[in-house]
Structure 1
Amino acid sequence: MSERQLKILAIDDTPANLALLGMALQDEYSVQIATSGAKGLALAQDDPPDLVLLDIMMPDMDGFETCRRFKADAGLKDIPIIFVTALNEKNTEMAGLALGATDYLTKPIDINVARLRIHNLLERERLRMALLAREAEQRLAASVFAHTHDGIVISDADNLIIDVNASFTRITGYQRDEVLGLNPRVLKSGRQPAEFYQTMWHTLLEQNYWHGELWNRHKSGRHYAVLSSISVVRDQNGAIHHFIGLFADITQLKNHEHDLEQIAHFDPLTGIPNRLLLVDRLTQGIAQTRRSGRQMAVCYLDLDGFKPINDSYGHELGDQLLIAIARRITECLRAGDTVARIGGDEFVLLLLDLPDRDECESILQRVLAAVARPFLIDNLALRVSASIGFTLFPDDDADADTLLRHADQAMYGAKHAGKNRHNLFDPASDKAAHERGRALADVERALRNQEFELFFQPKVNMRTGKVLGAEALIRWRHPQRGLLLPQEFLPVAENSDLIVEIGDWVLRSVLDHLEEWRRNGLTIKIGINIAPRHLLREDFTRRLAAHLNDHPDLPASCLELEILETAALADIGRVYQVMRECQKMGVTFALDDFGTGYSSLTYLKALPAEVLKIDQSFIRDILRDPEDLAIVEGIINLSGSFRRQVVAEGVESVEQGLQLLKLRCEQAQGFCIARPIPAARLADWIANWQPNPQWLDLGNGLTSDQE
């Protein structure tokens, strides 16, 4: 088989299913495609392949029937068949193997695993065919064996060695004169139980032939694997004359199989189990726990502070840190427990045979302490911590996937509670999570069904009476609940990408309204609230520019983006960069709810917003709370010092407006001026707006005093 390029026949009614695998194999093998079982049989009968990759689900003749016909054909029956299927059930696998299939590959195909399996199978077939050929020769002339690559040992009727060849010496390490007169059991490694040899001898004496794999021990003491066949040579009376053993060293092949096992079940970085092996052990753990009557803990661990280290020092150092963390966690666990890495900096711990919750928490506390100790890597002292969520089975009597989900949910509870701690799953929070999921789906459907609409709250100069612009406010025209305010539906979307989609919808809608108003002779500036998640997206400025380009007749200065002060402080460097990029287009910015952030004075000069909007919570009690009055006066003076415009939100009375004018705050919005107005009525409201005469009188007096 090794003297020519091996041929693989792939039989699949949808060849594209195997295209990726075929491309990976084409450099090593000749790959032939058949789109049905019948065509595959015809091609194989004309020119038999060395291996068949066979799909199960095919019309007319499925993979099982195709396999039967291959095995019924004397010329094709020995060709190895590997089923390639999306079916991943034990009964399906057993049915295929019962028909004579050699192996299974499950879709989607892991290319590395598939190549190793195909290589190992063809290598095994090569060895089998070579052994068969050599066995035929040795029955004709048992003494002609000196130059074979495989080891040969000949023993007498009492199974004492009478001859070996040079390859025997090469493979075993024993010289010929060291083993003559000894029983071949001198090679035994001890890795096979006594029952293995009993079965081997029973087969050998009954059938005069045995073949199989076993582990032997080299003279140096190391173990090696062989593919061996033993034949009984009898005299003319049927009595045993001698035994001939033929064996090939397949240690490298077994190492490949071990590599395959590692790839399939272990994390390549840390060497601990991966998700696939974890799920298998978790399933076994559920069954074991039911039998024992004890408890099992499923624990989801996520590292705190790993990403900044990985970003600052690079992935190579980050990988070293993950390896060290995995080692420390393993050292904290008991025999029989499992730690698995399921991606990035996330681990799952499986704690079996627990007497109670206290034992679980004691183990988790050791893990937290171990992870929190400094790691010295490349002369750097690195610190991380862990947040662990856990659930206890059978108190939480769920399946494997649900247990993992519950532990994951509890982990987020640990993070929200301050990190570096463990948190037990709470069914009530699970119910709340489901409710949030349903609410999020409802909001997403509302967006798709165009149930959102915009209202606009005017902003005016109280001193001059001029309308300066308006703030766009989203509303949900709910089919059953009527008109909903944003606080009733936006919070559920704030931590998902849905808030970005809603923000994009608001931008597009505002620009559409501005263009319509401009055609009708109304030019106005509109403020739009931008969610932090939306603003901090890498493509925010590019998408904003695209929206503006869709309305070439509108100046970018018609938009004022309002951002929460507290949100800006969360990533001030990135926010500053985005603001500058938008301002280059002509878009302006306002800091909304100003005064509620804990670092207003420190960061104000670092945020290039043109406008500060005083939070309405301070305006509400400005007439009766001296502290609120002092805060508002301070913000107004601060805005003057930094040459920023200031707008008072939530002005609900004439008296509040008068007080603000005395403090030199002229711009305002609130119910005293106008409640939010539907888009279709905004132009009429502006045309009929009547400024408050008390504000105008006081404003004119203040102007005269200043003059």
Structure 2
Amino acid sequence: MNSKQLKILAIDDTPANLALLGLALQDDYQIQIATSGGKGLELALDAPPDLILLDIMMPDMDGYETCRRIKANPLLKDIPIVFVTALNEIQAETLGFSLGAADYLTKPISIEIARLRIRNLLEREQFRQELQRREAEQRLAASVFAHTHDSVVITDSENRIIDANAAFSRITGYSREEVLGKNPSILKSGRQSTEFYKAMWQALNAHDHWSGELWNRNKKGEVFAALTSISVVRDDNGQIHHYIGLSADITPLKNHEYDLERIAHFDPLTGIPNRVLLADRLSQALAHTHRAGNHMAVCYLDLDGFKPVNDQFGHEVGDQLLIEISLRIRDCLRAGDTVARIGGDEFVLLLLDFNDTRECEAVLERMLCKVAEPLTIADNLVCVSASLGLTFYPDDRANADTLLRHADQAMYVAKQRGKNRYHRFDQELDRIALIRGETLTQIEAALINNQFVLYFQPKVNMRLGKVLGAEALIRWQHPERGLLSPAAFLPDIEGTEMVIALGNWVFARALDHLQNWQNMGLNIVISINIAPRHLLHHDFVETLRAGFAAHPQLRPHCLELEILETAALEDIGRVTAVMKECQKLGVGFALDDFGTGYSSLTYLKALPAETLKIDQSFIRDILGDPEDLAIVAGIINLTAAFHRQVIAEGVETEEHGLLLLKLGCDNAQGYGIARPMPAGDLPAWIANWLPNQEWLKKPALPSPSGTGPEQESPLE
């Protein structure tokens, strides 16, 4: 007790009476003096003292009344009061004690006795206040223990439960009586290892505290997550007295985290990993394969025929089909493998730990068979198959993204080769594809930068010496490689949207040239080559219509479209419909490279093409190859039978022309007539062209083939 900090209030109407006592006490206590009961009450209320010395015999308000008023005030009632009086009657003491006095000092006052009594009273008051504080703390602790939402369990030094609160019983299902004397390990779920608990006890012993997440099991056997804090309580000798464990049930939070994890990393429809989790799994798989020194396969799977199922039966059936397919794929995989859905009907598989690639191929063959098995969904019989591309690591030493791209490329090859099969990635094909991609980018840039030009190769009627028109041929004026022929770049855009863009450019430029020549008084027919993909594009006819609308002065039938015979026969129904729509606009058609494919006479009859072009590969060798000669003669006779016109490509010499005229083919183009030339040179060439006199001497055949002199030339 620091007595110097304690204050004593002395109330006496005769201060001299307390002077001696005040002098004796002022070294140990703060002394405050009031000369009346009223003044004493005022001072006490302003700053309550730790003890009051109160004279009984005072005017106006004696000591008894003052004591009564002090004890009646809640702020002052616990302050010890010592009466100081000359009275020495039992009745007076009894009255004082009944009013709440703590002691009496009788005048004349013995300083030593007064000092001891005052000290004892103050110490006792300090003990009372400390006890009162501790009781309040204990009541608060008991209230927290009883009413807190978190579980509280107390164990002894041997970790035996000695108390548990109501929240513990609510969370675990065990009553307090059921767990008293037992070890908290009765709650273990088995989800956490022995090493986990060993580390927990090491932290407790070293730091007297541990906190973390525990997976426990309640009385019903249900697993729950608890955010737990354990503290060690030691006695005055530093020995462990007991442990206190506080736990909050965080199962709803963990379930929410799990749901978020599922949303972030798993496909919501099939429940298998999505693209995000696949990236993580692939990274781990590459590291594992590198350490193990064996093989893994990255596979890209796409369903064949899924879109028709969706279109015919609806998306609900399509979704159920995807769920079933994912289950079938998983059934074919092993424990360490992964299947992920990365969109639509596309899946990626990671197959690990193969010593021999043939093991993997056996798995894939089994999987393809399983996927292709028919199944019934909502009373609908559904059949699909799968095309699968794969690449092996480390044979293919690429990074994760590139491995996926390689597998994707291989999958497209599998589709092109008939579907319902797998194909292994070919690095040489990939190298070619990369080169093609770079070339495609350059071609796109060339179109933007106006590096393409049209050249024109005249077509003539050899027997009449008349110019029929010209074929528009695209050239690339490459800034570094010079003028490039179509063979140098068109194969690289085959099958891409660039075919359509470049085809539209050729069409637009051809109409521009036709308009310019018509303004000059030159009326000819221009033919342009149209790729199959372009011809069957959904807005092809509208593009033609818009082009002619932009050139309203062009005369009808000034444009001819050349299409490959083989391409026309691939989808003859659609091709025929498009051709007829174009012919309504005045556009003619020619079958290009005729004879190089396998043609059915029925198909030929159905196609509304006015002209057949004999491929130059037959014309070039007709002078020395009887077989080519027979083919050319057969084609010419075929066109006569079907009342079509015929034109020969690749006429390089006078002898070629004479033989063709003899066979009944009057129309031709080739180097023997003219090489392809810039657009600006064509009008002058037409004006200055001198027909071959030997060709003009050949008489007309009595049997018309649709190419004889009785036909009107397009120039007339």
Please give the TM-score of this superposition, normalised by the length of structure 1. Answer: 0.69
1:591 corresponds to which residue? 591
Question: Conserved in 2, the CA contact under 8 Å of 1:559 and 1:587?
Answer: yes
Q: Relative to structure 2, which stretch is displaced further, 198-207 or 679-688?
A: 198-207
Q: Which amino acid aligns with 1:469?
A: G
Deviation of the 1:529 alpha carbon: 0.8
Deviation of the 1:459 alpha carbon: 2.2
Alignment of 1:51-450 (within 5 A): 140-143=140-143, 150=149, 152-155=151-154, 157=156, 159-160=160-161, 162=163, 164-165=165-166, 171-174=171-174, 183-197=183-197, 212-228=212-228, 243=244, 245-248=246-249, 250-307=250-307, 309-310=309-310, 313-377=313-377, 378-393=379-394, 395-415=395-415, 419-450=419-450
Q: Give the Cα–Cα distance (whole angstroms) in 2 for the partners of residues 276 and 325 of structure 1.
A: 21
Gaps of 5+ in 1: 1-135
Q: Relative to structure 2, which stretch is displaced further, 486-495 or 547-556?
A: 547-556
1:112 corresponds to which residue? none
Specify whether residues 587 and 146 from structure 1 end up closer, same or farther in structure 2 by C-alpha distance, changes over 3 A only: farther
Alignment of 1:307-706 (within 5 A): 307=307, 309-310=309-310, 313-377=313-377, 378-393=379-394, 395-415=395-415, 419-555=419-555, 557-622=557-622, 628=628, 631-632=631-632, 634-636=634-636, 638-639=638-639, 644-654=644-654, 656-658=656-658, 660-661=660-661, 665-698=665-698, 700=700, 702=702
The 3-state SS of whatever aligns with 1:142 is helix
Specify whether residues 518 and 599 from structure 1 end up closer, same or farther in structure 2 by C-alpha distance, changes over 3 A only: same
Deviation of the 1:680 alpha carbon: 0.8
Q: Which amino acid aligns with 2:475?
A: R
Q: Give the Cα–Cα distance (whole angstroms) in 2 for the partners of residues 529 and 661 of structure 1.
A: 26
Specify whether residues 640 and 229 from structure 1 end up closer, same or farther in structure 2 by C-alpha distance, changes over 3 A only: farther
Q: Which amino acid aligns with 2:615?
A: D
Larger radius of gyration between Structure 1 and Structure 2: 2
Deviation of the 1:597 alpha carbon: 3.1
Q: Which amino acid aligns with 1:488?
A: A
Please give the TM-score of this superposition, normalised by the length of structure 2. Answer: 0.68
Question: Conserved in 2, the CA contact under 8 Å of 1:556 and 1:586?
Answer: yes
The 3-state SS of whatever aligns with 2:471 is strand
Q: Give the Cα–Cα distance (whole angstroms) in 2 for the partners of residues 456 and 469 of structure 1.
A: 9
Q: Which amino acid aligns with 1:326?
A: S
The 3-state SS of whatever aligns with 2:566 is helix
Question: Conserved in 2, the CA contact under 8 Å of 1:153 and 1:161?
Answer: no
Q: What does the per-residue CA deviation read over 1:628-650, in whole Å, with 9 as the maximum and x for residues that have no partner?
A: 45544554555456554433333
The 3-state SS of whatever aligns with 1:143 is helix
Q: Give the Cα–Cα distance (whole angstroms) in 1 for the partners of residues 391 and 369 of structure 2.
A: 17
Q: Give the Cα–Cα distance (whole angstroms) in 1 for the partners of residues 139 and 216 of structure 2.
A: 25
Question: Conserved in 2, the CA contact under 8 Å of 1:555 and 1:586?
Answer: no
The 3-state SS of whatever aligns with 1:380 is strand
Q: Which amino acid aligns with 1:389?
A: L
The 3-state SS of whatever aligns with 1:674 is coil
Q: What does the per-residue CA deviation read over 1:301-354, in whole Å, with 9 as the maximum and x for residues that have no partner?
A: 444555555555555444444433333333333332223333444433333332
Question: Conserved in 1, the CA contact under 8 Å of 2:309 and 2:382?
Answer: no
Q: Give the Cα–Cα distance (whole angstroms) in 2 for the partners of residues 689 and 138 of structure 1.
A: 121
| Percent identity over paired residues | 63
Q: Give the Cα–Cα distance (whole angstroms) in 2 for the partners of residues 137 and 682 of structure 1.
A: 110
Question: Conserved in 2, the CA contact under 8 Å of 1:613 and 1:649?
Answer: yes
Q: Give the Cα–Cα distance (whole angstroms) in 2 for the partners of residues 242 and 431 of structure 1.
A: 69
Question: Conserved in 2, the CA contact under 8 Å of 1:475 and 1:486?
Answer: yes
The 3-state SS of whatever aligns with 2:619 is helix
Q: Give the Cα–Cα distance (whole angstroms) in 1 for the partners of residues 310 and 592 of structure 2.
A: 34
Q: What does the per-residue CA deviation read over 1:36-61, in whole Å, with 9 as the maximum and x for residues that have no partner?
A: xxxxxxxxxxxxxxxxxxxxxxxxxx
Q: What does the per-residue CA deviation read over 1:661-697, in whole Å, with 9 as the maximum and x for residues that have no partner?
A: 5655443323333222221111112223344455555
Q: Relative to structure 2, which stretch is displaced further, 271-280 or 304-313?
A: 304-313
Question: Conserved in 2, the CA contact under 8 Å of 1:225 and 1:251?
Answer: yes
Specify whether residues 700 and 518 from structure 1 end up closer, same or farther in structure 2 by C-alpha distance, changes over 3 A only: same
Q: Give the Cα–Cα distance (whole angstroms) in 1 for the partners of residues 340 and 663 of structure 2.
A: 63
Question: Conserved in 1, the CA contact under 8 Å of 2:388 and 2:410?
Answer: no
Question: Conserved in 2, the CA contact under 8 Å of 1:232 and 1:244?
Answer: no
The 3-state SS of whatever aligns with 1:255 is helix
Q: Give the Cα–Cα distance (whole angstroms) in 2 for the partners of residues 554 and 139 of structure 1.
A: 105
Question: Conserved in 2, the CA contact under 8 Å of 1:229 and 1:247?
Answer: no
Q: Relative to structure 2, which stretch is displaced further, 367-376 or 562-571?
A: 367-376
Specify whether residues 351 and 701 from structure 1 end up closer, same or farther in structure 2 by C-alpha distance, changes over 3 A only: closer
Deviation of the 1:266 alpha carbon: 2.7
Query: What is the alpha-carbon root mean square deviation over aligned residues?
Result: 4.0
Question: Conserved in 1, the CA contact under 8 Å of 2:469 and 2:526?
Answer: yes
Q: Which amino acid aligns with 1:485?
A: S
Q: What does the per-residue CA deviation read over 1:200-233, in whole Å, with 9 as the maximum and x for residues that have no partner?
A: 5666788887654333324332323344556788
Q: Give the Cα–Cα distance (whole angstroms) in 1 for the partners of residues 170 and 582 of structure 2.
A: 76
Specify whether residues 288 and 138 from structure 1 end up closer, same or farther in structure 2 by C-alpha distance, changes over 3 A only: farther
Q: Which amino acid aligns with 1:509?
A: R
Specify whether residues 284 and 163 from structure 1 end up closer, same or farther in structure 2 by C-alpha distance, changes over 3 A only: closer
Q: Give the Cα–Cα distance (whole angstroms) in 1 for the partners of residues 184 and 699 of structure 2.
A: 113
Specify whether residues 557 and 388 from structure 1 end up closer, same or farther in structure 2 by C-alpha distance, changes over 3 A only: same
Question: Conserved in 2, the CA contact under 8 Å of 1:391 and 1:406?
Answer: no
Q: Give the Cα–Cα distance (whole angstroms) in 2 for the partners of residues 302 and 575 of structure 1.
A: 29
Q: Give the Cα–Cα distance (whole angstroms) in 2 for the partners of residues 571 and 700 of structure 1.
A: 38
Q: Relative to structure 2, which stretch is displaced further, 628-637 or 530-539?
A: 628-637
Gaps of 5+ in 2: 1-135, 711-716
Specify whether residues 495 and 399 from structure 1 end up closer, same or farther in structure 2 by C-alpha distance, changes over 3 A only: same
Q: Give the Cα–Cα distance (whole angstroms) in 2 for the partners of residues 440 and 359 of structure 1.
A: 39
The 3-state SS of whatever aligns with 1:221 is coil
Q: Give the Cα–Cα distance (whole angstroms) in 1 for the partners of residues 638 and 253 of structure 2.
A: 77
Q: Which amino acid aligns with 1:568?
A: A
Q: Give the Cα–Cα distance (whole angstroms) in 2 for the partners of residues 640 and 147 of structure 1.
A: 106
Specify whether residues 251 and 560 from structure 1 end up closer, same or farther in structure 2 by C-alpha distance, changes over 3 A only: farther
Q: Give the Cα–Cα distance (whole angstroms) in 1 for the partners of residues 667 and 275 of structure 2.
A: 59
